[in-house]
Amino acid sequence: MNETAARLRAPESADYPFLDFGTGFFEAAAAHPDKVAVIDETGNHSWATFSGLARRVAGRLAAEGIGPGQRVAGLADNSADYLALYAGVLLAGACMVPLPTSGSDGALAKMMSDCEARFLFASARHMDTAQTLGAAELIALDGLDDWAGETPIAAPVAVQPGDYFDLIYSSGTTGTPKGIIHDHRFRGRQLERMPRFGLDGEARLMMSTPLYSNTTLVAALPVMVKGGTIISMAKFDVTRFLELSQEHAATHAMLVPVQYMRLMNAPEFDQYDLSAYRAKMSTSAPLPGPLIRDIVARWPGNLFEVYGMTEGGISTVLDCVAYPDKLDTVGKPAEGCDARIIDEAGNQLAPGEYGEIVGRSGSMMPGYLHADDKTREILWRSPEGLDFIRTGDMGRIDEDGFIHLLDRKKDMIISGGFNIYAADLEKVLRDHPDVADVAVIAIPSADWGETPLGLVVLKPGAGTQAEEIRAWANDQLGKTQRLSAIEIRDDLPRSAIGKIQKKELRAPYWAEVREQARA
For residue 313, which phi and psi values (nearest 5 degrees)?
A: 90, -80
Whether pLDDT at 447 is above 90: no
Check: CATH 3.30.300.30 for 412-518? Answer: yes
Instruction: Return the exposure string of 221-230: e unless at least 16 CB atoms fall within 10 Å of the residue's CB, then b.
Output: bbbbbbbbbb
Among residues 332, 328, 326, 327, the alpha carbon closest in space to that of 307 is found at 332
Maximal CA-CA distance, the chain: 72
Domain chopping of the chain, boundaries? 20-235, 412-518
The amino acid at residue 458 is: L
pLDDT, averaged across the chain: 92
Query: How far is residue 141 from each of residues 99, 125, 211, 228, 501, measured CA to CA in Å?
Result: 14, 10, 14, 23, 31
Rounded Cα distance between 163 and 207, Å, is 27
Q: How far is CA 418 from CA 349, 441, 477, 485, in A?
A: 20, 15, 14, 18
> Tens of pLDDT along 19-34?
799 999 999 999 999 9
- Residue 336: phi and psi, rounded to 5, are 90, 0
Give the mean model confidence (pLDDT) for residues 173-181: 76
Using 50, 70 and 90 to split pLDDT, how confident is the model at 114?
very high
Radius of gyration of the chain (CA): 23
Question: Does residue 344 have a pLDDT over 60?
Answer: yes
State which of 225-234, 413-422, 499-508 shows the largest mean pLDDT.
225-234
Give pLDDT, residue 164.
Answer: 97
Return the pLDDT at 144: 98
CB 125 within 8 A of CB 32: no
pLDDT surpasses 50 at 240: yes
Q: Contact 453/485 with Cβ under 8 angstroms? A: yes
Neighbours of 446 (CB within 10 A): 6
Binned at pLDDT 50, 70 and 90, residue 103 comes out as confident
At what angle are helices 422-430 and 466-474 packed, to 10 degrees? 110
The amino acid sitting at 405 is L
Query: Does the reported pTM lie above 0.85?
Result: yes
- Could you give the CA distance from residue 166 to residue 185 in angstroms, rounded to a whole number? 11
Weakest mean pLDDT among 130-134, 429-433, 447-451? 447-451
Q: Tell whether the model's pLDDT for residue 172 goes beyond 80.
A: no
For residues 377 and 303, give the distance between their C-alpha atoms in angstroms, rounded to a whole number.
Answer: 34
Is the pLDDT confidence value at 102 over 90?
Answer: no
pLDDT above 60 (res 512): yes
Q: What is the pLDDT of residue 258?
A: 85
Q: What average pLDDT does the segment 106-128 reach?
A: 95
Above 90 in pLDDT, residue 458?
yes
Q: How far apart are CA 348 and CA 346, in angstroms?
A: 6
- pLDDT, tens digit, for every residue of 390-438? 999 999 999 999 999 887 777 888 887 777 888 889 989 999 999 999 9
Answer whether CATH 3.40.50.1820 is correct for domain 20-235. Answer: no
What is the number of H-type helices and E-type strands within the chain? Answer: 15, 25
